Structure 1
Amino acid sequence: MPALCDTYIENRHRVQPNHANNYETAHGGNVMKWMDEDGAMSAMRFAGHACVTANVDELDFKRPVPVGDTVLVEAFVYDAGRTSVRVWLRAYRENPRTGDTELTTESDFVFVAVEDGTPVEVPELSVESERGEELHQYAMENTES
């Protein structure tokens, strides 16, 4: 049974000019793509199978990320169904020179584990550490709204 902290992934994506909109900030579609890719990696680590996106909950962009800064994405599995995996994602604007971060968006993505295009069962999720419990509680509280 995989533990929540085993699914935690943190990834950084440097915002280049080809990732930008007309305002020289990260295009929302690129941020969503990075979140989706990192979320899928977390889901696959949990499920042990390829995972495809089934649903994206509300995705609000709270602040822009300028060209030259980094989008820091955190992802972790916080719940599982029979074939589905719920991943909580947070994206931050990160200054690569100082490491300072600001939350830019967060969301709940649902992935389905598949093998040869057919949904397959996933294991149960365990929460075995204090950090895992904190992450789990945070995600659960934020999906209830």
Structure 2
Amino acid sequence: MPTVSETYIENRVRVQPDDTNNYASAHGGNVVKWMDEVGAMSAMRLAGATCVTARINGLDFERPIPQGDICIIESYAYDAGTSSVRVRLRAFREDPRTGETEQTTSSHFVFVAVDEDMKPTTVPELSVETDRDRRLEQEALASEGTD
């Protein structure tokens, strides 16, 4: 039975000119794409199967990520249904020169585990064992109504 911490993934992408909009900041569609890809990885760690996006529950763009900065995507599963996995996702901007970070985007995605025929398949229970697991789960649940 996988734990919340075992589904935690953090990924970094340098925001290049091709990733930006007319304002020299990361295009929102690219940020969502990066979040979707990393979120699916967290869901698959729990499910042990391919996972596809079923829903995005709110998506708040709080501030831009300038070209040249790094986009950090933080993702982890915090709840599971029969075939679904709920994943908390947050994006941050990081200045590559100073390491300074600030949150830019937040959301909760729902993924569904599928078999080779793209039919929903069951996922294991998500285990909450450590203080870190509990903290991550509580933060995700508390933010559900605000993201």
Tell me the amino acid that sits aligned with residue 128 of structure 2.
Answer: V
Following TM superposition, the consecutive aligned residue runs of length 4 or more in structure 1 with deviations greater than 3 angstroms are none
Map residues 124-139 of structure 1 onto 2, 5 A cutoff: 124-139=125-140
Q: Distance in 2 between matches of 1:26 and 1:102?
A: 15
State the partner residue of 1:71.
71
Identity %: 61
Aligned residues: 145
Cα offsets for 1:48-97 (capped at 9, x unmatched)? 00000000011111100111001000000000000000000010011111
- In the alignment, does 2:107 pair up with 1:107? yes
Q: Distance in 1 between matches of 2:60 and 2:140?
A: 16
RMSD of equivalent CA atoms: 0.7
Map residues 18-97 of structure 1 onto 2, 5 A cutoff: 18-97=18-97
Unaligned regions of 5+ residues in structure 1, if any? none
Q: Distance in 2 between matches of 1:144 and 1:57?
A: 9
Q: Distance in 2 between matches of 1:124 and 1:7?
A: 12
The alignment's TM-score, normalised by the length of structure 2, stands at: 0.97
State the partner residue of 2:120.
119
Cα offsets for 1:7-44 (capped at 9, x unmatched)? 00000011000000000000000000000000000000
